[in-house]
Structure 1
Amino acid sequence: MIERIEAFRRRRPRLRDEIVTLAHGAGGKSSAALVDAVFVEAFHNELGDGAVLTTPSGERLAFSTDSFVVQPLRFPGGSIGHLAVHGTVNDLACSGAVPQWLSAAFVLEEGFGVAELKEIVADMASAAAAAGVRIVTGDTKVVPRGAADGLFVTTSGVGVIPAGRRFPAVRPGDRLILSGTMGDHGMAVMLARGDLAIEADIASDTAPVHGVVEALLAAAPGTRWLRDPTRGGVGTVANELAQDTGLGVVLDEQSLPVRPVVNGACEMLGIDPLYVANEGKFLAVVAPEEADAALAAMRSHPLGADSVVIGEITAQPASTVVLRTAFGGTRIVDMLVGDPLPRIC
């Protein structure tokens, strides 16, 4: 395992900062450098949205944890409560597991309204019930006024990986599928803050994707890889795919699904939708011979109706993401640099 970690570290950006900045929480280059230099260095663990664990009896489990610091706490299409459930459920699903149990921990700032807290907890309860998971344990801490921004939530989850489920290695020629439109969540939260003087009908896509994932895996059992493109968006996660496999990822600009209203808001703010967070979508790499069946299965589910092939895996350029533009040219898509949309999830 140490050898794999060292090989991984050689590909990662190096941490040169002496203090933590908002960019370190954006999911891009700065996040990768911080995680590598601090947490991997100390824990010597392999990175990912979910760890796969094997019990003494041979049963395989996925375990994941995530913290949520979104501001505002409520936005069109959802709240921090919905995100706290959906985010962990989706990480488990993209590990190949069927989500089962969650924990929930709350850090409350002194003075936070009990009525608002009840509403957010009710959102979590309804989201968990709709996703078919149980919140079985948790913790609550209160900090002095000014020591937190109202409310932070951390959820952890456990899911069961069906017997025999494995993800084969990604290969050149494989197809990259996105389960729906990009950027809805990030732009919904950004506009909900109300300080941009932009009005647009954009709602977050926050939702549990495990139903679509199971439909995909039933139709395309040779699926190679899954990931939900949250912080850093599709562009950053595609780079993680390229770096982890050592292969190239070629995206087709004309195939990238972005709602016109989201694209318009991004253009006004000078933000590329490729780097905007999603909370109800996932990326899948499937074998070319299973691509049609995978798309049909995903599109048959309400949350995957807009699924589309957005690119393919290539041998070259190695460990690099390239965008094939509508004009027939190409450009490199790097990992996210900086944090254009802080506190999105």
Structure 2
Amino acid sequence: MNVTQEKSLAGLTGSAAKDSRIRRSKLASPLITLAHGGGGKAMRELIDDVFIDAFSNPTLNTLEDQARIPLAELARLGDRLAMTTDSYVIDPIFFPGGDIGKLAVCGTVNDLAVGGATPLYLTCAVIIEEGMQVETLRRIVASMAETARAAGVSIVTGDTKIVGRGSCDKIFINTAGVGVIRQNHQLGANRARPGDRILVNGYLGDHGAAVLNARGDMHLSSPIQSDCAALHGLISVLLAAAPGTRFIRDATRGGIASVLNEIAEASACGIEIAEAATPLRQEVKGFCEILGLDPLYLANEGKLVAVVPEAEAAAALQALRAHPLGREAADIGAVLADGHAGRVHMQTVFGGKRIVDMLIGEQLPRIC
């Protein structure tokens, strides 16, 4: 987010400052109980001491049932409103490179950004299992707050529900996001054209491998960390360098294989990628070989797939590689003519080709 956008965002929230009433209730219990979802004093203590303390901003601090955002200010940032929502149910809730709180913020920011939007506001609704340690909840909420601040977005409203033991697995988080789409950006999977290049911004499959390894079921020693990151800054750089970009998608569940199949189906074109050009860490390759997994289907939380006109591909790749989140960016393939409609295949390192189909079922449960 640039300085102008930061000032505009400050203007959006500043009007609520005079109505702000930060409450000071303190939480006494070290464990979450059903009383914390009952709507009384215990619930107020939980909200004040854990959520308001971490997410504090003028819009949120009014503690109304809705966030109130001036439309005139939004209109100055773009010509369309973007909205998204997602739920996060990961096991384990803490993993190398992130946690469920960071994941929730980054995932929603990215869902806005891949449509060409500037992310501005998030909601946060949590379902918490009775008996959860309050300090564990504080860690998650603090991570959300830190990630939101770094991304330049505000968490402006939310909801808390407590359920009995065994009714959920520790904590589930739903976040909705609001952003504004810049003028002249039209992105969509159906816009891909023959000759376009397929770009990714770095090593693939890190998140899926890191989460599976963190579960400890395989007792493998590996330095793999999740790539969880907010990509809106990187996407701004990409769109500036390649304004003709056709499509962007963050490759989460189902990995890049699912994204590529969505492009092929929506555009009625084919796609060919090269195994030799597809960036994978040796650790992830080895991990997948041991477990019989295909890294093309592993989830990512900080990687995007972009379809860029061939004439702009070199500039786009250079811009991506100049950004901290795109240093290992690569051109991995191309969109093919109509004769290959709806099909994705990979040129293997052995000189053959294999079909890359849509994933049936899940390789890994609960990874985002």
The TM-score, its normalising length taken from structure 1, stands at 0.83
CA contact (8 A) 2:205 2:255 kept: yes
Q: Partners of 2:126 and 2:361 in 1: how far apart?
A: 28
Bigger CA drift: 167-176 or 267-276? Answer: 167-176
The whole-number CA distance in structure 1 between the counterparts of 2:304 and 2:363 is 22
**What percent of counterpart residues are identical?**
54
Name which of structure 1's ranges 294-303 and 322-331 shifts more when overlaid on structure 2. Answer: 322-331
Deviation at 1:80, TM superposition (A): 0.3
Classify the secondary structure of the residue corresponding to 2:359: coil
The residue matched to 1:297 in structure 2 has which SS?
A: helix
Inter-partner Cα distance in structure 2 for 1:338 and 1:198: 25
Counterpart of 1:167? 187
How far does the alpha carbon of each residue in 1:91-131 deviate from its partner, in whole angstroms, 9 at most, with x for none? 10101101110001000011111110001000000000011
Give the equivalent residue in structure 1 for 2:113.
Answer: 93
Aligned ranges 1:222-241 → 2 under 5 Å: 222-241=244-263
Structure 1 position 250 matched with structure 2 position 307: no
For residues 49-128 of structure 1, what are the structure 2 equivalents within 5 Å? 59-128=79-148
Shift of 1:167: 3.1
Q: If you compute each CA radius of gyration, which structure gives the higher value, 1 or 2? A: 2
1:306 is displaced (CA, Å) by: 0.6
Partner of 1:334: 357
For residue 141 of structure 2, what is the amino acid of its counterpart? Answer: V
Counterpart position of 1:186: 208
Contact 1:167 1:222 in 2 (8 A): no
CA distance in structure 2 between the aligned counterparts of 1:166 and 1:186, rounded to whole angstroms: 30
8 Å Cα contact 1:90-1:228 kept in structure 2: yes
Matched, 1:320 2:343: yes
Matched pairs, number: 292
Alignment partner, residue 20 of structure 1: none
1:199 corresponds to 2:199: no
Letter in 2 for 1:82: K
Give the CA deviation at 1:166.
2.0
- Aligned-pair CA distance for 1:59: 2.7
- Aligned to 2:320, the other structure's residue is in SS state helix
**In structure 2, C-alpha distance between the alignment counterparts of 1:314 and 1:61, rounded to whole Å:** 33
Partners of 1:324 and 1:259 in 2: CA distance: 19
Q: Deviations over 1:152-184 (max 9, x none)?
A: 001010111112222382110000000111100
Q: Residue 287 of structure 2: which of 246, 265, 272 is its match?
A: 265
Please list every run of 5 or more consecutive structure 1 residues that lacks an aligned counterpart in the other structure.
1-53
Whole-Å separation in 2 of the counterparts to 1:197 and 1:174 = 42
Q: 296, 313, 319: which is aligned to 2:318?
A: 296
Q: RMSD value over aligned CA atoms?
A: 1.5
Counterpart of 2:195, as a letter, is: G
Q: 1:325 offset after TM fit, Å? A: 1.2
One-letter code aligned to 1:93: A
Distance in 2 separating the partners of 1:275 and 1:164:
33
Code of the residue aligned with 1:244 in structure 2: it is: A
- Unpaired runs of 5+ in structure 2? 1-70
Shift of 1:223: 0.3
User: Does the 8 Å contact 2:113/2:231 carry over to 1?
Assistant: yes
Shift of 1:200: 0.5
User: d(CA) in 1 for partners of 2:314 and 2:154?
Assistant: 34
Aligned equivalents of 1:337, 1:254: Cα separation in 2: 25
